[in-house]
């Protein structure tokens, strides 16, 4: 008897299942996550909140206008006054125009702009991190489907082997020990299949959590473009384009402006002011001459206000020292982030190269294990090999196949992670702009930066990401995997 299985053809891609007419692609998954992931939507909303910091800082340099009014009832009049009114209405309007504030506003705006740039870089990092997670879980689903297929095929092969062994035992060609060995291997294979199915369920659940929909017959992913030739080339690109490093640099620059903002507290401030007043005694103002007194009066003043701080208890100096220490911390964070980026880039590059090497060796191992299994089966028919030899050869083949599909998954995930840490795995890099309008954080900044009307507000906040509670729980099943024997 000879078992001929379909695994070699299935191993041509990471996914060991034939691609059906309707299937999801990696680009579909990435686009869905880009449009519907709550973590990414939250980061975008946080960036919109950061955009307002420039408007808030700039408002301190703009004129302020206020009005006030009071109505008073004099419940008890002075006994010595002959013209004491019974009630009074006062109204005033005040306009103040800042002229000089020691550079606090200018430096505050510059710091806010740098933090906005840091936020945009952080948003890029969130996007690329999400994409890396989607790629990893996409490949995990494909890998676990492959492992279920391999385990199913192994169970089927061992079941046929047990049947053949039992038949040969019945005619006295084999011993009870041979049958027991076949039964043991089949029982272990069935347990491994259940474990593989549970791992597939877990992978599918994580896919739903990230992407917002259940995976449907995932297609093998496309090749990754633009991978570097050396770790040094990867590091050079990462040091220029890594979003986390860009964000750290922008935050450090913003912290430098904070020092000047704090120091401005010891400098003079100059402003122009004008106010107008209106007073009305509402017909209750008496007169010494007996004639009706004028019940209303108006006033207007204008001038320049100079404020020179002389002593503030050391508060300004403490604030500036505090800002200086914070700036020092930010500079050290730049170095720490740079070190981390360099180390991660080199490590990921090493993992990617190692996975590619493992793929090559595993392909050779699979080919050799297939040949070995066929040879052991042939030799068993003439009595030169035992049933245990066949079972061991089958196990070696399965081990090589598992190593191959795992290495293919690891190589792809490492390659994408390398692109991500280099800053080359963002929406436009992945071609998502071809599927719809990309989210541009600059659009919101341009929208709000010129708003000076105090009564403008955005609509009430509502969540936009879809819930997954109505998505049916996934199972560990895959398309039918069969073998043929003769």
253-297 pLDDT per residue, tens? 999 999 999 999 999 999 999 999 999 888 777 665 666 677 888
**Tokens standing for 222?**
């496309």
Neighbours of 447 (CB within 10 A): 12
List the domain range (segments joined by +) for residue 467.
3-61+104-265+329-485
In sequence order, the β-bridge partners of residue 156 are none
How far, in Å, are 97, 263, 267 from residue 270 at the CA level? 9, 16, 10
Question: Residues near 287 by Cβ (< 8 Å), separated by ≥ 6?
Answer: 83, 293
Q: What is the mean pLDDT of the chain?
A: 89
Asked, for residue 468, whether it belongs to a domain, the answer is yes
Quick one: which of 65, 95, 104 has its CA closest to 303?
95
**pLDDT, position 483:** 41
Tell me which long-range contacts 317-323 makes (C-beta under 8 A, separation of at least 24): 317/266, 319/262, 319/265, 320/259, 320/262, 320/263, 320/265, 322/262, 323/255, 323/258, 323/259, 323/261, 323/262
Asked, for residue 147, whether it belongs to a domain, the answer is yes
**Tokens standing for 335?**
């170095």
- Please tell me whether residue 274 adopts helix, strand or coil conformation: strand
pTM of the predicted model as reported, rounded to 2 decimal places: 0.88
For 226, left (φ over 0), alpha (ψ -120 to 50), or beta? Answer: left
Asked, for residue 182, whether it belongs to a domain, the answer is yes
Asked, for residue 131, whether it belongs to a domain, the answer is yes
How far, in Å, are 27, 78, 352, 426 from residue 433 at the CA level? 11, 79, 28, 10
> In the 3-class helix/strand/coil scheme, how is 121-164 assigned residue by residue?
HHHHHHHHHHHHHHHHHHHHHHHHHHHHHHHHHHHHHHHHHHHH
- Please tell me whether residue 345 adopts helix, strand or coil conformation: helix
Exposed, middle or buried, 273 (CB in 10 Å: 0-12/13-18/19+)?
middle
Asked, for residue 460, whether it belongs to a domain, the answer is yes
Residues 185, 188, 190, 193: is their CA dihedral positive or negative? negative
Distance (Å, whole) CA 476 – CA 457: 49
User: Residue 330 in contact with residue 115, Cβ under 8 Å?
Assistant: no
Asked, for residue 319, whether it belongs to a domain, the answer is no
Q: What is the DSSP string of 10-78?
A: HTTSSS-S---SS---HHHHHHHHHHH-HHHHHHHHHHHHHHHHHHHHHHTTS-EEEEEEEEEE-SS--
Asked, for residue 151, whether it belongs to a domain, the answer is yes
**pLDDT, position 11:** 44
Asked, for residue 208, whether it belongs to a domain, the answer is yes
Distance (Å, whole) CA 243 – CA 120: 9
Residues 176, 178, 179, 180: is their CA dihedral positive or negative? positive
DSSP-derived pairing of the beta strands 296-307 and 269-280: antiparallel
**pLDDT, position 485:** 36
The per-residue pLDDT string of the chain (486 residues; one tens digit each, 9 = 90 and over) reads 333 343 443 444 444 443 444 568 999 999 999 999 999 999 999 999 999 999 999 999 999 999 999 999 888 776 656 667 788 899 999 999 999 999 999 999 999 999 999 999 999 999 999 999 999 999 999 999 999 999 999 999 999 999 988 988 888 888 899 899 999 999 999 999 999 999 999 999 999 999 999 998 899 999 998 899 999 999 999 999 999 999 999 999 999 999 999 999 999 999 999 999 999 888 777 665 666 677 888 999 999 999 999 999 999 999 999 999 999 999 999 999 999 999 999 999 999 999 999 999 999 999 999 999 999 989 988 878 888 999 999 999 999 999 999 999 999 999 999 999 999 999 988 888 876 778 999 999 999 999 999 999 999 999 999 999 999 999 998 876 544 333
**pLDDT, position 9:** 39
**pLDDT, position 5:** 41
Q: For the chain, how many structural domains are there in total? A: 1
CATH of the domain at 457: 1.20.1600.10
Distance (Å, whole) CA 399 – CA 150: 10
């Amino acid at each position: 008897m000879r078992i001929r299985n379909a695994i070699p053809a299935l191993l041509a891609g990471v996914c060991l299942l034939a691609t059906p007419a309707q299937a999801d692609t990696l680009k579909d998954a990435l686009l869905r996550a880009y449009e519907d992931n709550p973590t990414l939507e939250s980061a975008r909303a946080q960036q919109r909140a950061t955009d307002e910091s420039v408007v808030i800082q700039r408002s301190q340099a703009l004129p302020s206008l206020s009005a006030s009014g009071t109505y008073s009832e004099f419940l008890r009049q002075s006994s010595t006054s002959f013209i004491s009114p019974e009630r009074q209405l006062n109204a005033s309007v005040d306009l103040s125009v800042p002229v000089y504030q020691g550079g606090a506003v200018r430096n505050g705006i510059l710091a806010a702009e740098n933090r906005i740039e840091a936020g945009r870089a952080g948003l890029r990092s969130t996007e690329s991190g999400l994409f890396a997670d989607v790629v990893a879980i996409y490949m995990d689903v494909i890998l676990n489907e492959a492992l279920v297929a391999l385990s199913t095929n192994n169970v089927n092969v061992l079941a046929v082997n047990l049947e053949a062994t039992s038949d040969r035992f019945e005619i006295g060609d084999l011993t009870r020990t041979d049958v027991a060995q076949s039964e043991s291997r089949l029982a272990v294979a069935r347990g491994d299949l259940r474990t593989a199915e549970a791992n597939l369920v877990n992978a599918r659940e994580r896919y739903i959590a990230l992407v917002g929909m259940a995976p449907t017959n995932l297609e093998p992913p496309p090749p990754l473009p633009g991978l570097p030739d050396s770790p040094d080339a990867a590091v050079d690109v990462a040091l220029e384009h890594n979003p986390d490093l860009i964000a750290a640099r922008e935050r450090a620059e913003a912290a430098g402006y904070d020092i000047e903002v704090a120091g401005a507290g010891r400098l003079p401030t100059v402003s122009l002011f004008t106010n107008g007043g209106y007073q009305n005694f509402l017909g209750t103002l008496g007169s010494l001459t007996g004639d009706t007194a004028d019940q209303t009066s108006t006033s207007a003043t204008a001038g320049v206000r100079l404020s020179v701080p002389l002593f503030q208890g050391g508060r300004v100096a403490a604030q500036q020292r505090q800002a200086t220490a914070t700036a020092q911390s930010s500079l050290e964070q730049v170095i720490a982030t740079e070190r981390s980026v360099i180390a991660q880039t080199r490590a990921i590059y090493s993992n990617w190269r190692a996975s590619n090497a493992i793929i090559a060796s595993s392909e050779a191992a699979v080919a050799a294990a297939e040949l070995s299994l066929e040879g052991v089966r042939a030799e068993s028919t003439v009595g030169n090999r035992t049933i245990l030899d066949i079972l061991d050869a089958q196990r070696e083949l399965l081990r090589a196949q598992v190593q191959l599909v795992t290495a293919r998954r690891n190589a792809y995930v490492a390659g994408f992670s390398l692109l991500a840490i280099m800053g080359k795995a963002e929406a436009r890099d992945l071609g998502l702009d071809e599927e719809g309008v990309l989210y541009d954080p600059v659009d919101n900044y341009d929208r709000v930066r010129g708003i000076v009307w105090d009564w403008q507000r955005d609509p009430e906040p509502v969540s936009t990401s879809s819930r997954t509670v109505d998505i049916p729980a996934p199972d560990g099943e895959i398309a039918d995997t069969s073998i043929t024997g003769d």
